[in-house]
Amino acid sequence: MRLILMAGLLMLAACGGQGGDGTPADTLTQRQRDSVIGASRLPGAGGVRGALEVSDSAAARRALLDSLSREN
pLDDT tens sequence across 2-59: 667 556 655 666 665 555 566 666 788 999 999 999 999 999 999 999 999 999 999 9
Q: Distance between CA 30 and CA 45 in Å, rounded? A: 15
Residue 5, domain member (yes or no) = no
pLDDT on residue 11:
66
Residue 1, domain member (yes or no) = no
Number of structural domains the chain divides into: 1
Q: Which residues pair with 18 in a beta bridge?
A: 24
Residue 10, domain member (yes or no) = no
Identify the domain containing residue 43 by its residue range. Answer: 28-72
Cβ-proximal residues to 46 (8 Å cutoff; 6+ apart), any chain:
38
